[in-house]
Structure 1
Amino acid sequence: MRVLHIGLNDYLGCGGTGIATYRLHHAMRQAGADSKILSRGRSTEDPTTAKMPRWRVAELPLEILAAKVGLRDFARISTFKIKQHPFYEAADVVTFHGIHSGTLSYLSLPSLTADKPGVWVMHDMWAFTGHCAASYECTRWQTGCGDCPHLDINPRVARDTTRLHWKLKDWTYRRSNLTVVAPSTWMAEQARKSMLGRFPVHHIPHGVDTAVYQPLDPAHCRSALGLPPDKKVLMFAAVNLRLSHSDGRGVPKGADLLLKALIGLPAALKSEMVLLTIGNGGEEMAQMVGIPVLNLGYVVSDHLKAIAYSAADVFVSPTRAESFGLVLLESMACGTPMVSFRVGGVPDLVRPGVTGYLAEPENADDLRAGIVQLLEDDRLRTRLGEQGRALAEAEFTLRQQAHRYLGLYRGLLEGCTLDAVSTNAAAPHRADL
């Protein structure tokens, strides 16, 4: 099986999308597939990855002009050279990951999927909206976009070209050979409601290396990080920890909501806890939160992240929009219970009374209640942590993810159409492939 993954980056540089792509690629190779990555940026020396071909002289002025008029995703005309790349020529199947923000001209999809099946992994909503990766409360993507209320939501556009983009995407998909994969039941439901509903939509959750992300001795982990052994440790991780953002809906990962929740914590609990953070720009929160903060900065090492999760008593994710929640899966695999909001794909991982506490969206008081409940109940934390670890091993290993994708690819290459998965809301945790 020869598989090509196409996306923004091979590992780093695009948050969870790059990490999830590289992990899947590596797991496929371990499963015996000849997997390769072709990306706009390259952050590793891995010989199974390569940068996309570029027409730099022609594209630079075109990209500048396109950005000014809100047509950024048309500018990467060198996309059409991908068919001449050895990675593409050798591939049986092409899988697309996070191709927006000038990575790929989506107008090339009919050409790229004409001779071999294409699989599009829904790391966000961009594939079926007029421009945004997360639509929040807006549902205009179901009817054609236009008159966009949030032009500054990433990826931003300078002018309201959302209806044009929506129509062109619809036109493009009518001429493409695609199968859609969603990492969460929620994302699968959104895809089926969208213009992508014309294609088979499958649910294959992301996986995690449970040999790396596993429960480690908390005392040893705290000692390694310099954390006090007698404090309760609350952990928060995101690429961007800043409390303000130019995004039209505030901070996507909810650092501002977490701050509100933490400021209102009981004084007694504050006095016996520490906040452990991973990500960029955590200095502002450290100054305002009113409790000791240890910020590890942006962490690349999976082993160091596993140490951090294992050192924590509770992991909190105050996210406003989430297609899946990779940090939640990592926490769960390390046996650390979670508190998060009932948004997007989060409920697949944070299951009330099983792996953590689900708060109502945007409700900092409810988020605080979950934090207090878990930090003050040692037995509950232990039970939720053990159940989370068991669930990660049962449903979310990288080996399972790789074999589910390879099974899908085999069906496509044999000319079979696998049945689209059930969207039974009562059992969102079930693996569908």
Structure 2
Amino acid sequence: MQVLHFNQTDVAGGAALAGYRLHQGLLDQKIDSRFLVARKVTQSDRVTQLPSPSRTERRIQSITDPLGFAQIHLLSTFNLKQHPSYQSADLLNFHNLHDGYFNYLAIAHLTQHKPAVLTLHDMWSMTGHCSFSYDCDRWKIGCGNCPDLTIFPPMRRDSSHWEWKLKKWAYHKARLTIVAPSRWLATVARESPLFRRFAVHHIPYGIDVDVYKPLDPEYCRSRLNLPNGKRVLLFVATHLQERRKGGDLVLAALQQLPDAIKSQLVLVTFGSGDTEQTGIQTVSLGYIQDDAEKAIVYSAADLLVFPTRADNLPLVLQESLACGTPMISCRVGGVPDLVRPNITGYLANSEDVQDLKTGILVLLENDRLRQQMRENCRTIAVSEYRLELQAQRYIELYQTLVNSIDR
């Protein structure tokens, strides 16, 4: 079986990395998996970069973008049927279709004769523009009167109702099966008026538990040149200042800790950007892409603090889980799938700095609970989130869809 994935890039960003891990899992199971991407980062010969928009497409874009219609200028998406990777594929797997490289109006055209899976990594496919709607539920009634056009991907003019309608039209004749990595996103997909025709499956992301695994903390701290005798808190985000990831909440909670506690802590961050002063010794590791290096960082930490404001099934939390590092996060999106109160970590109320501070203190002061959580984290990662388990679930779904076409 040959599977062709579509994504904005191969490994840059959470959704891309999640898709690429699935790709690796499929290859391990002897599935011929390939990618079409807008931006290629790896050197893999199984990843092909799509051409940049043509001059004609850029001219159309100069008209459609100011009107609030993103991506519909990409007429070349309709020509992907002539691409050799498309023609040889038995099945298509769409991932993130935003970021300006794919015309969603072509979905019905591309799925006319090939079965297709749409793996959701956020809400964009169900809304009039945003990747996460936060407290807004206008995606249930057709969007319009958008309360925040700046949410990624931003919209220059409020055409959210019309984009919602265009997506509805595009899906009307499409042949899709939906996969959601978190229980929350599966529920959202089943509630979406745009997806009523489609079956929705819940298949969590997979992770290589032979790479992401608990390592000796003292060894890891030595490798990272961290100070001896201090508790290590970890905050991870691709962009540390990204509001959605809650870096400001981390800083506010840490600033309110008692001085006696602060003196016993070191805050480790990895991701691009700098953190503000918290009164706590801070070590910035910059952006880390290597999986083995990331496992060292997670294993060096006593706690991961990640108060995201909106998320699907955060890879940061999954990586921490596999390395046996307890987590403090917020009760939003798919986070509760991973952060289970008194089992794998502490689940704070969203936007509640005091609750976040309480969680940090509770887990720091209870060594026995934290050790039990370490064991629970690893057990759950191995039993529920192994990469081969995710690949097997996808292969079963793929085979069912391919067989239905054959009949």
TM-score of the superposed pair, with normalisation by structure 2 = 0.97
Of residues 237, 261, 278, the one that matches 2:270 is 278
Give the aligned partner of residue 221 of structure 1.
220
Query: Partner letter of residue 6 of structure 2?
Result: I
Structure 1 residue 311 and structure 2 residue 309: aligned? no
Deviations 1:317-338 (Å, cap 9, x if unpaired)? 1100001111100000000000
- Cα deviation for residue 53 of structure 1 reads 3.7
Structure 1 residue 263 and structure 2 residue 255: aligned? yes
Query: Partner letter of residue 3 of structure 1?
Result: V
Of residues 407, 410, 418, the one that matches 2:399 is 410
* Aligned mates of 2:73, 2:343 — CA distance in 1: 47
- Cα deviation for residue 50 of structure 1 reads 0.4
Of residues 33, 51, 64, the one that matches 1:66 is 64
- Cα deviation for residue 229 of structure 1 reads 2.5
- Cα deviation for residue 84 of structure 1 reads 1.1
Deviations 1:347-396 (Å, cap 9, x if unpaired)? 00000111111001110110111111111211111100110100000000
* Aligned mates of 1:103, 1:223 — CA distance in 2: 43
* Aligned mates of 2:138, 2:257 — CA distance in 1: 38
- Cα deviation for residue 63 of structure 1 reads 2.6
Give the aligned partner of residue 401 of structure 1.
390
Q: Secondary structure at the match of 2:404?
A: coil
The aligned runs of 1:240-389 (5 Å cut-off) are: 240-242=239-241, 251-282=243-274, 284-285=275-276, 288-389=277-378
The aligned runs of 1:79-90 (5 Å cut-off) are: 79-90=77-88
- Cα deviation for residue 57 of structure 1 reads 2.0
Structure 1 residue 42 and structure 2 residue 40: aligned? yes
Give the aligned partner of residue 198 of structure 2.
199
Give the aligned partner of residue 234 of structure 1.
233
Query: Partner letter of residue 241 of structure 1?
Result: L
**Count of aligned residue pairs for this structure pair:** 404
Assess, with a 3 A threshold, how the Cα gap between structure 1 residues 255 and 280 changes in structure 2: closer, same or farther: same
Give the aligned partner of residue 20 of structure 2.
22
Q: Is the 8 A contact 1:144 1:167 kept in 2?
A: yes
* Aligned mates of 1:109, 1:11 — CA distance in 2: 23
Q: Secondary structure at the match of 1:94?
A: strand
- Cα deviation for residue 72 of structure 1 reads 1.6
Q: Is the 8 A contact 1:343 1:361 kept in 2?
A: yes
- Cα deviation for residue 80 of structure 1 reads 1.4
* Aligned mates of 2:51, 2:401 — CA distance in 1: 27
Deviations 1:271-302 (Å, cap 9, x if unpaired)? 000001111112x42xx211111111111111
Q: Is the 8 A contact 1:72 1:101 kept in 2?
A: no
Deviates more, 1:340-349 or 1:373-382: 373-382
* Aligned mates of 2:342, 2:403 — CA distance in 1: 43
* Aligned mates of 1:7, 1:62 — CA distance in 2: 23
Q: Is the 8 A contact 1:80 1:108 kept in 2?
A: yes
Deviates more, 1:217-226 or 1:288-297: 288-297
Of residues 145, 148, 168, the one that matches 1:147 is 145
Structure 1 consecutive aligned stretches of length 4 or more whose deviation exceeds 3 Å: none
Q: Secondary structure at the match of 1:151?
A: coil
Unaligned runs of 5+ in 2: none
Fraction of identical pairs, as percent: 48
Deviations 1:184-203 (Å, cap 9, x if unpaired)? 00000000000213200000
Q: Is the 8 A contact 1:192 1:201 kept in 2?
A: yes
Unaligned runs of 5+ in 1: 246-250, 417-433
Deviations 1:86-130 (Å, cap 9, x if unpaired)? 111111110111111212100000011001111111100000100
Q: Secondary structure at the match of 1:89?
A: helix
- Cα deviation for residue 55 of structure 1 reads 4.6
- Cα deviation for residue 54 of structure 1 reads 4.3
* Aligned mates of 1:153, 1:381 — CA distance in 2: 36
Deviations 1:169-220 (Å, cap 9, x if unpaired)? 1111111000000000000000000021320000000011000000001011
Deviations 1:382-416 (Å, cap 9, x if unpaired)? 10011010000000011000110010001111219
* Aligned mates of 1:5, 1:363 — CA distance in 2: 39
- Cα deviation for residue 69 of structure 1 reads 1.8
Q: Is the 8 A contact 1:52 1:82 kept in 2?
A: no
Alignment RMSD (CA, Å): 1.1
Query: Partner letter of residue 229 of structure 2?
Result: D
Give the aligned partner of residue 420 of structure 1.
none
Structure 1 residue 51 and structure 2 residue 43: aligned? no
Deviates more, 1:110-119 or 1:61-70: 61-70
